[in-house]
Amino acid sequence: NAGVTQTPKFRILKIGQSMTLQCTQDMNHNYMYWYRQDPGMGLKLIYYSVGAGITDKGEVPNGYNVSRSTTEDFPLRLELAAPSQTSVYFCASSYAGTINEQFFGPGTRLTVL
């Protein structure tokens, strides 16, 4: 099992550019999450999904979009990148919501200049 994988590991964007952060899990988990972590801070939930075709906003969804067409994949789309989106992005998955542990991917470090 690879667990939760994320690509790319690093990315530099210019203001106004767009990109998609990829997240894939091979544990057949229903729940998937996207978090951002600013330097020295905790993780903030951007979006989450309870299954294929079902997504919902988290604490800080503005500037992002998600889709969940399969159980395995949960991509995060950034439209019109802004410097405030400079952060480390973590994808996570769990079997059945918050009664189970979340498994985190290695993260994507994004810089917007």
Partner 1 sequence: QQPVQSPQAVILREGEDAVINCSSSKALYSVHWYRQKHGEAPVFLMILLKGGEQKGHEKISASFNEKKQQSSLYLTASQLSYSGTYFCGTEEENFNKFYFGSGTKLNVKP
Quote the least distance from Cβ 15 to partner 1, whole Å: 26
* Residue 44 binds to partner 1 (criterion: CB under 8 A): yes
DSSP H stretches of helix in 3-48: none
From 45, 63, 72, 75, residue interacting with partner 1 (rule: CB under 8 A): 45
Beta-carbon neighbour count of residue 15 at 10 Å? Answer: 11
Q: With the CA atoms of 50, 37, 19 and 24 taken in that order, what torsion angle do they form, in degrees rounded to the nearest 10? A: -40
Quote the least distance from Cβ 79 to partner 1, whole Å: 23
Q: Which stretch binds partner 1 (CB under 8 A): 21-29, 67-75, 78-86, 105-113?
A: 105-113
Phi, psi of 101 (to 5 degrees): -65, 155
* Residue 96 binds to partner 1 (criterion: CB under 8 A): no
Ramachandran assignment for 84, one of left (phi > 0), alpha (psi -120 to 50 degrees), beta (any other): alpha
What residue ranges bind partner 1 (CB under 8 A)?
33, 35, 41-45, 48, 50, 56, 58-59, 90, 97-107
